[in-house]
Structure 1
Amino acid sequence: MRFALAFLLAGAIARADTLSDLKARLSSSADTTAVTATVSYVSSRLGQKSAEAPPRPATVVATDGPDGFQMCWARDVIRPAMQAGQKEDERRRGARAAMDGLKPTEIYDYLNIASSIMEVLNNAEVTEEKSDTWQGRPARRLALKLTLPLSEKDRKYIKEMSADATVWLDEEGWPLAAERRLHIKGRAMLVISFEQKESERFEFGRVAGRLVTLRHEKSSEGSGGGESGGRKTVATLEVAQL
């Protein structure tokens, strides 16, 4: 029994050290060098019929550096998006939905993803660590249990919630990719039950010492009040140092 307890404690300490090492690595990510990214974003309904027109992506150029953060839209992106309200065309509506989805806060996070990962890790516990590969590269895989803070208002409606994540680290301890999953069940106004599922996949890279997001896929499905629906978004980034 003592041996088993010592083994479990040693494993817990090792996982805690891994989490501390990862946080230290993330805190060293550079955020003062100027980088630019061409961001392409597509938003589509889950279960979209093949006969429907494919969604049109929106593209924006974003820059972040010592002088601040800015986004620049090309005219050929803005025009079809602005016309979406005038013509009932699926491709035009898709362009506007994609443009609306490219929020400055999210693009900024893509280029400064280390701080966002740190926030998640502050409420995470490593449940498993093992050797693995990611796209043919040697990696360490961490399984995380997440605890998401809820407001008093949210606690009144959310009755069940589970969240977990998986992170792949390279040989130096930098994140290569991550997955996050969230499942929520609850009840609103006493009689309306609802359920929400979300899953996200991230791919990361380093540019000028800065950890950045290279690809982000997000799928969400929900049901409540007799209705259901879902959406998938994909953002891809080409990042370079200025």
Structure 2
Amino acid sequence: MTEPHILVVDDARDIREPLGTYLKKHGHRVSLAPDAAVARETIANGAIDLVVLDVMMPGEDGLSLCRWLTGRGGPPVILLTAMADDADRIVGLELGADDYVVKPFNPRELLARIRAVLRRVPPTPLATPTGRRRFAGFVHDPNARTLAHEERGEIVDLTSAESRLLTVFLDRPRAVLTRDQLLDLTAGREAKPYDRAIDNQVSRLRRKIEPDPKRPTIIITEWGGGYRLAADVTALDEGDPAAAPAPSPAAGEET
């Protein structure tokens, strides 16, 4: 069984937090946002499978955020609307919302509608970058799933999971990424709540790139926060000789 990641966007704390608790109790991973700005940041930093979105919010309203979401290709949206707002419901559906629920609502009905939308919307495939990139004396090739050490002339093989994890860090150098964000960005809807596999993957990756894995200087632990790639990242052109693999491979772990 997989656990979709739901984002609840509502400025009313007495709706947002109990709804988040209810959805978690029924097997979903949940993020909460009190406004559109926090919602945009949450979506940018993690793979969200569905957004439950209040229409009436101060600042940027739900219809504007819905337009932005559908314009960039998802995730699917269920609108929360006031009973009298027929026009909002119609406009929301015209903007591309997948469903709507009228306030006050029964959480069981909303849960059923979430499940129905997710059944008909396929999971968003995870992006697979193809370009080689340099960081901390290494060149990462996501196609070959290898790391070439520029000074030692070694090639280190990566498992597919390690290569995906490294790609996520290289996409966001020096940004602190929580375990939930790393799970979302590497596993998407397949991620399970409270999964600690990320810690194991980080440890395995450190053994391959850190001079001293017990005292890491490349992938840093942010206590209470997550992990951070403490290195600059440079994209390499296909014709760059530094992007070519080194000649003498070193043993690596199998997939």
**What TM-score do the two structures reach when normalised by structure 2?**
0.25
Bigger RCO of structures 1 and 2 (CA < 8 A, at least 6 apart): 1
